[in-house]
Homo-oligomer: A and B are copies of this chain.
Amino acid sequence: MRLAELSRRGGVSTATIKYYLREGLLPPGRRVNATTAEYDEEHVRRLRLVRAMIQVGRLPVAKVREVLGHVDDDSLGRSIRLGAALWTLPQVPEPDEDDEYVQDAHREVAALLDRLGWENAKQLASISPSYRSLVVAVAAFRRLGYGWGAEQLAPYAELMHRTAALDLDFMEAYPSDAERVEFALLGAILNEPLLRALHRLAQEEESTRRYGFG
Chain A interface residues (CB < 8 Å from chain B): 11, 44-45, 48-49, 51-52, 56, 77-80, 82-83, 86, 92, 118, 120-121, 123-124, 128, 130-131, 133-134, 136-138, 140-141, 143-146, 152-153, 155-157, 159-168, 170, 183, 186, 188, 190, 192-214
Contacts and interface: CB of A to CB of B under 8 A. Distances in A.
A163 B156 contact: yes
Contacts of A133: 193, 196-197, 200
Contacts of A196: 133, 192
Contact of A159 (B121, B144, B152, B163): B163
Interface majority SS (helix, strand, loop, mixed), chain A: helix
A164 B130 contact: no
A157 B120 CA distance: 27
A201 B134 contact: yes
Contact of A194 (B131, B138, B144, B205): B138
Contacts of A137: 190, 193-194, 197
Nearest to A48: B144
B186 A146 contact: yes
Nearest to A201: B130
